Amino acid sequence: MKGDFNAYVATMRKIADISHAISLLSWDKEVNMPPNGAAFRTQQVATLSGMAHETFTAPAFKENLDALYEVREDMDIKSRRNIEITKKKWDRAACFTTEFVMKKSKITSEGYHAWLKAREANDYGLFKEALRKLVDIKKEECELVGYTDHPYEALLDEYEPGAKVADLDTLFSDVRNQMVAFCRKIADSQQVDDSFLVKHFDKDKQWDFGLDILKVMGYDFDSGRQDISPHPFTTNFAPTDVRVTTRIDEQNFGSMTWSCIHEGGHALYEQGLPSSEYGLPSGNAVSLGIHESQSRLWENNVGRSLPFWNAHMGLAKEYFPEQLGDVDSNAFFKAINKVVPSLIRVESDELYYHFHILIRYEIEKGLLEGNYDIDHLNEVWNAKYKEYLGIDVPNDKEGILQDIHWAYGSIGYFPTYSLGSFYAAQFFAQAKKDIPDLLSKMEKGDTTELLAWLRENIHQYGSTYPAEELCKRITGEGLNFKYFMEYAQEKYGKIYAV
């Protein structure tokens, strides 16, 4: 039996339809849903999750997939990769019963609402029982899936296929060995002035400014929209419907601006995926590390660069003449790149940011190893912030409750944030080689050629190539931490004269 590729595509698109219906319900939960809708929304998502799982694990689909897998070497690379990735996902999904999938979905939905209440009350105690259930279900998932070296890899593989704990340990060792010393040099230097960024900025003007920045980046509002949510995120239902959310702090200009640019980078990737591959791996992002590379490239390599603000400082002054009228682009550039330890990951500078990720990585590993008591995990969190960033955590809301990821059961996700920054630096270095006048174009407010370069080299391929292979195709080598350090040393060396 050779298998029916068209039947495979039809089933994959049916599953995608169900999955995107779940995503739409989840988007609505965070943006529009009234408080009393939570119980039935949990039930609805659980039901749809069960339907998607049953469709994917149906015997007929498995039989056809196995037949196609046997003849995959006769296929073109895109079709072959689609079958190989789907087979790997099927083997993983087959480890779970429908009951387990629905149980996991229910625990996750309950965890989200418990996190919201705990965050509002600034009390970790209201979340710890939900977190205990989330960790227990993830431990069960690890054992069902299986692993070679460490249970964390069973979860990590879902977000960054093929990544190993040993490699991450080495990566974060490089972060410690190279970035700690560099950040200490910066700490000993004269600090930049960013006082003009923490004045009162009207929320409606911030909202309109954010929309303009998204348009500058190339975000297509005919294929997307922006809304407000407690934690900024990007979601997609097709390349023609990619939505972003932001949050606004009227006393902090950077909170909304950088979440808009960051989520806009994610959205540009999703809008650039081929619509013809809807529902297939070749129509989805290859990994979260690569996905994060797109958001971090726009947020930091572009959005925190001097050329970008030489072009758009005038726009910022139009919206906020009282706050920014006397600020030139060079002073603004220095201010938005201020390096100082901070409590909140999403508002951290791009250097200390990786210590935030390191802390979460160590805690996640420790939870799976059983090294931490969940009842007192906030104390572990606080101690690590004191150790790595030298700061005291004043409360749970600004500490262990600041991120939504564990409430979603997304353990194994955080390392992809650091991977994304390092991929971004390497990709941007290559883009500057391939587009020699890139910086001068950015200085004129033109990022269209950069977006076209990303579309051509990354977006169009979806998951056709594994992350490491994609990186080699673009830059001639696998992920190399040196590009991030070279970028950081050049940029911050000038700002802080180190």
Return the amino acid letter for 193: D
User: In angstroms, rounded to a whole number, what is the distance separating the alpha carbons of residues 473 and 73?
Assistant: 21
pLDDT of residue 377 exceeding 80: yes
From the centroid of its chain, how far is CA 292? 5
- Residue 449 pLDDT level (bands cut at 50, 70, 90): very high
- The pair of structure tokens assigned to 98 is 């429908």
Please state, in angstroms and as integers, the Cα–Cα distance from residue 36 to each residue in 21, 102, 121, 123, 146, following that order: 20, 21, 18, 22, 39
The mean pLDDT of 29-58, rounded to a whole number, is 91
- The pair of structure tokens assigned to 252 is 């902090």
So what's the architecture of 166-496 in CATH? Orthogonal Bundle (1.10)
- The pair of structure tokens assigned to 152 is 């964390």
Question: Are the beta carbons of 300 and 339 closer than 8 angstroms?
Answer: no
What integer pLDDT is reported at residue 1 of this predicted model?
Answer: 61
30-34, 167-171, 335-339: range with lowest mean pLDDT: 167-171
Strand partners, 235: 243
The mean pLDDT of 51-69, rounded to a whole number, is 94
- The pair of structure tokens assigned to 17 is 């339809």
User: In angstroms, rounded to a whole number, what is the distance separating the alpha carbons of residues 277 and 459?
Assistant: 12
**Is residue 322 among the annotated active site residues?**
no
User: In angstroms, rounded to a whole number, what is the distance separating the alpha carbons of residues 448 and 431?
Assistant: 13
Angle at 407 between CA 402 and CA 411, to 5 degrees: 95
What integer pLDDT is reported at residue 212 of this predicted model?
Answer: 98
pLDDT of residue 343 exceeding 70: yes
Token pair 């949990």: residue: 42
Which of 87, 453, 452, 438 is closest to 281 using CA atoms? 87
pLDDT digits (tens, 9 = 90+) for 81-112: 999 999 999 999 889 988 998 899 899 989 99
The mean pLDDT of 323-332, rounded to a whole number, is 96
The mean pLDDT of 27-40, rounded to a whole number, is 91
Interhelix angle 165-174/353-369, nearest 10 degrees? 150
- The pair of structure tokens assigned to 224 is 């997307």
* Percent of the chain whose predicted confidence (pLDDT) is above 70: 100
Out of 153, 160, 263, 270, the active site residue is: 263
Burial zone of 322 (CB within 10 Å; 0-12 exposed, 13-18 middle, 19+ buried) = exposed
pLDDT of residue 464 exceeding 70: yes
pLDDT digits (tens, 9 = 90+) for 224-238: 999 999 889 999 999
Q: Could you tell me if residue 462 is left (phi over 0), alpha (psi between -120 and 50 degrees) or otherwise beta?
A: left
- Residue 38 pLDDT level (bands cut at 50, 70, 90): confident
Average pLDDT, rounded, for the chain: 95
Q: What are phi and psi of 467, to 5 degrees?
A: -55, -50
Q: Give the chain's end-to-end CA distance (angstroms, integer).
A: 66
Please state, in angstroms and as integers, the Cα–Cα distance from residue 157 to each residue in 143, 161, 423, following that order: 14, 4, 18
Please list the residue range(s) of the chain that carry CATH number 1.10.1370.30. Answer: 166-496
User: Parallel, antiparallel, or unpaired: how do β-strands 241-246 and 224-228 relate?
Assistant: parallel
